[in-house]
Every structure is written in C-alpha cells, then in structure tokens.
Amino acid sequence: MNKGFSNDDEELDQLAKKFESMMSNKHVGYFDVGEYEHLANHYLMILDISKAKTVIEQGLRQHPASGELHLLKAKCILMQGNVKEALMYLTNNESQFEKTDADYWLLLGELWLETDKEAKALDAFSHVMALSADDFDETALDIGIALVGHEQYSHAIRFLLKGMAFNPENPGILNELAVCYELMNMVEKAIEYYNKLLDVDPYNDGAWFSLGSLLQQHEAYNQALEAYDFALAISDSNEMVLMNKGIVLMKQKRYDEAIDIFKKHGQITGQAQHALMLIAECFEETGDFDKAAFYYSEAVNENPKYEEAWLGLGYCRFETGAYDESALYFKKALQLNKKSDEAWAGLGDAYGALGLDEEAVASYQTAITINPNLEDVWSLLAGIYIDKRNFVKAESVLSQAWNIHPTNMEIGFGMAMCKYKNGLKNETLNLLKLLPGLDASLADKWFEIFPDCNNDEEIYETVKRIAVNPGFN
C-alpha cells in the first residue's frame, strides 16, 4: 500500500529543488500528476507539512480531477490534527476517488478509527483487503499498524494473520503480531512470534532486545541474557540492551559483571549519573558500603539534584556507622523532596543511632504520615517508646499500625506485648488468638520480656500454642 520512493533518490532531489526554486520565484511551471504525488509524499515523509500543502494545492490547480492528490490533501489535513475536517473533505470529494482505489479505503478506515467508528473502520479495511492482490501482506500490515495504534489488538491480529498466510516471512507482520500478543499479555505467543521474526531476520537487534525484555519481565533471566548477547553481537553500543543486561546480571547477583556493563553504558551514552547509581547499588548489594558511597558521591557530583543518590549516600554512611554524615545526606535528599518518606525514615534511623530519640520520633512520624504503608517504621517508632518503657504510647502507635496492617505478625505481637504490660490481659488473649502463628524468635522474645509469664498459665499456653517451633520447653 505504501506507494513510496527512496528519500535519497537523485531524481526526486532534483525535482524538489526545481519546485522550490520555482516557488521562490513565484512561478511554477508544469508538473505531471506523478511528480506532484512524489513531491507531496516526500514532504509528508519528512513532516514538512507546510511544503506538502503547497505542493498539493498547486497540483490540484493543474490537475483538479486527480484522486491521488485529493487523497494526499486529506492525509495532509489529518497530519495537521484535523481529523473531522479530513473526514469531511474525503466524503465531500467522494466523486473524485475510484472506489477500486485501496488507498482511499485505507485512509477512510484510519479516519473512522480516529472518530471511534470501529465498525465503519473495519468495513473500510475489508474493502482494502479485497482490492489488494500483489501487495496483500503489506496491506494487511498497514491495517494492522493502524489498529494497533488504536489498541484494537484482536482485530489487528485477525488482519495480520491473513497477511502472514499470504507471506509467512514478512518481518513487519511477524513483529506486529509479537507486539500485539505482548500487549495482550499472551507471553508464550509473543515469544513464539519474536522467534519466528528472528528466524527470518536473525540480525534484527531490535527484535532480540524485545525478546530479551519480555523474558526479563517474566524472570527467565538466562534466556534474557542470551537474547541480549545476540543483540550486542549485532550492535555492541545499543544502550537499552546494555542497561537491561546489567539489570539482569544484578538480579542474578553477578555484580562484578553488572558493574562492567554499567560502566560501558555510561561511556557510550555520556549520561554517567544513572550508570554510577547502578554501580553504587551493586557495591551496596555486596556489602562494600565505602565503594558504594564513592559511586553515589560521583553521581551527586554529576547531578547535585539527584535525590536517589543522596538517599544512597545516607544509607551507606548509616551502615558504616557514620551517623552524623548519614543524617546530613538524608537532609540533602529532603531539601530536594520534602515528601520523601524514604528520606524521613532514614533520617529517623540516623537520629535513633545518635540517641536523639525526640528527633527520631518526629522523623518517623513524618514518614508514616506521608506513607502509612511503611510497616517497619511503625515498629521502629513503637520500639523507641518500648525502650523508654512507655507501653501506653507504644500500644497506641501499634494499634494504629495494626488497623492498617492487620496481617503483620510482628506488629500484632508488639501490640499484644504492650497490652499485657498495661495490664489488659483479656485484650491480650483476644489479640494473641488472632495471630495465626508466631515466629520462634518472637515467641522467645515474649518469654524474655516476661520471664515470669509461666506463672500465668493461660497466657503461657496461648503463646506456646501459636508459636512455630518455639525455642523454649
């Protein structure tokens, strides 16, 4: 269906120069219809809508009965974003078009799609298919692409499969089918068609990348790496492939290899900050917090507004015991984003390690106000009150947390412990019975905190019964 031409065609270049020279001199000589078509298509292809419009208008002055030029005018109107106007122009000039012109029906179908007239679009596309013979597969591909663009994947597949029946090795059709199945979350079918495409076009690095991405999303990491390696063998500087390969290597805990890949990615793209961040994360995962901090610092030097890098510095300095520095870096992150729950929680940790309990409490409270789903932060906040033997306040915090996280056994256990400390035995028993099972360490902790609990047989037996392999007799 694409009555195209080479953009590098010398004859076309000369034709364009001739037309533009004539226009600048405000005198345009005679061009035949085919020359106007080529010129208009040329300008539309390079998205120079203004020149395309000029060519078409001049062409219609010389050839007012040309259906092709009328069709190109409708396309030009559509490319300017005027869908209804394009549809009106097409229907108002219906007599100018041959009803056997497949291009007319294809454009009409695209316009019906744009105006959400699905049934009319499909009817127009059926006309296109009936009128196509020699280029049946390319016609099916054009229709498939139009339907995919409007998220009509099932209909797109129907037309694309017809095209594939005509030409099973059309790479465009195989690619669009793979994309459709992927967008419909039909993973096995998508993989099948990416593999069919690669059988036809094994040097298609984009297809290898797409296959690798799909396998990566479904945690088939070894197969994903194999696909990425094929893509890199074709184009070793494909930045998206390098990035994804590095991330897969991280997933497999192959951090040294991932670091090498991220370094290469940074060199190729010139966008070092993201690569530095990922390298830092690799070192962090291996427990080398000093090296991780070094690369986070490098990322910050590249971009002082890189919030995630400041957070990384905060975590690394906390792990190395440099709590003052840790607090400073979390504050830097908060200067960039005052609503960062991670930064407030990290700052709370740093303050807590420094013995600044009031500041830690304020930071934790801010964190859970921003994001109540931070289960660990609720426990840490309650833990400060428990350490101060303020079980009433700890119970209040854990009660709020339990309402939000009723399946968190550690929160439920902490609240039961506080209730028992506060003399609320019946409430303690009722709460303990809601817990389906305590981790052995939690059960042991109960008897560590309440060493005389065995004197309270009811409580003792309840804890013992719900404990999973407790470390006591």
Helix/strand/coil percentages in the chain, nearest 5: 75, 0, 25
Going by the DSSP 8-state scheme, the letter that residue 363 receives in this structure is H
434-437-443 Cα angle (round to 5): 105
- How many angstroms from the chain centroid is the CA of residue 222? 21
CB 33 within 8 A of CB 63: yes
One-letter identity of residue 276: L
CB 436 within 8 A of CB 449: no
Q: What is the SS3 assignment for 40?
A: helix
Q: Which two tokens stand for residue 230?
A: 């094929």
Return per-residue pLDDT of the chain as tens, 473 residues.
Answer: 544 444 456 777 777 788 777 777 777 778 888 888 888 888 888 888 888 888 888 888 888 877 788 888 888 888 888 888 888 887 877 776 766 678 888 888 888 888 888 899 998 898 888 887 778 999 999 999 999 999 999 999 999 999 999 999 999 999 999 999 999 999 999 999 999 999 999 999 999 999 999 999 999 999 999 999 999 999 998 999 999 999 999 999 999 999 999 999 988 887 788 899 999 999 999 999 999 999 999 999 999 999 999 999 999 999 999 999 999 999 999 999 999 999 999 999 999 999 999 999 999 999 999 999 999 999 999 999 988 889 999 999 999 999 999 888 888 888 888 888 888 888 888 888 777 666 667 677 777 777 776 677 788 777 777 665 444 33
- Domains of the chain: which residue ranges? 397-473
CATH number of the structural domain 397-473: 1.25.40
Dist. CA 434–CA 440, nearest whole Å? 17
Going by the DSSP 8-state scheme, the letter that residue 355 receives in this structure is T
Supply the Cα-derived Rg of the chain in whole angstroms: 34
The string of DSSP codes covering 270-304 is S-HHHHHHHHHHHHHHTT-HHHHHHHHHHHHHH-T
The string of DSSP codes covering 198-246 is HHH-TT-HHHHHHHHHHHHHTT-HHHHHHHHHHHHHH-TT-HHHHHHHH
Dist. CA 69–CA 72, nearest whole Å? 5
Q: Which two tokens stand for residue 432?
A: 């303990």
pTM, two decimals, is 0.74
- Tell me how crowded residue 278 is: count the other CB atoms within 10 A of its CB: 22
Residue 436's nearest CA partner among 415, 401, 465 is 465
